[in-house]
Amino acid sequence: MEAIKLLAGIGKPPLGRLIHYRSLTTAFREIKIKRDPNCPLCSENATITKPPNDQKEMIPLPEITTLELRQTLAEGFDGILLDVREQDEYFMAHIEGSQLLPLSGWPDAVTNLPKETKYLVHCAVGMRSARAGEWMLQHGFTDVTNVAGGMKQWLQEE
């Protein structure tokens, strides 16, 4: 509630005070807090003036359908078809020629992959592969494409 009041500019937020609420006895207590003169956020000489931007620049992840994947593979795809599902999923069904690299083992498992290679990434329905593909693009891989629909769509088309 206090954050909403502060953002909306209404009421009197308890700046410099901590409101302690004890629910078992329905009791309130107000604790005054002294400002730290060396605080990097709120002192007169604050060094933190804006939120940190830890997000790397988002690069759009291209997508292809499973029909387009079939055509690409038939034409002799020169790259790596990466399956990011778990091992048990892979053993039940997989696309011939795909390389298994479960997303659960990332990022350590990806360190040996060449970054300049073309990648077509797939999973069961396209969600995990999209996450993997975005991660790859943010970490220096140059040519990554997600397979929308994944293995589920691939099997429905057979």
Model pLDDT, residue 57: 61
What is the C-alpha to C-alpha distance for residues 140 and 83, in angstroms, rounded to an integer?
19
Query: Is the whole-model pTM more than 0.75?
Result: no
Domains of the chain: 1-51 (no CATH), 63-156 (3.40.250.10)
| Model pLDDT for residues 24-59, shown as the tens digit of each residue | 999 999 988 887 888 877 788 888 787 766 555 667
Neighbours of 10 (CB within 10 A): 9
| Model pLDDT for residues 81-133, shown as the tens digit of each residue | 999 999 999 999 999 999 999 998 888 888 889 999 999 999 999 999 999 99
Model pLDDT, residue 5: 83
Show contacts of 154-158: CB within 8 Å, 24+ apart: 154/66, 154/69, 154/95, 154/122, 155/93, 157/66, 157/67, 157/70
Model pLDDT, residue 68: 96
State whether residue 117 is helix, strand or coil. coil
Q: Count of alpha carbons within 13 Å of 37, Cβ hemisphere only?
A: 0
CB 26 within 8 A of CB 109: no
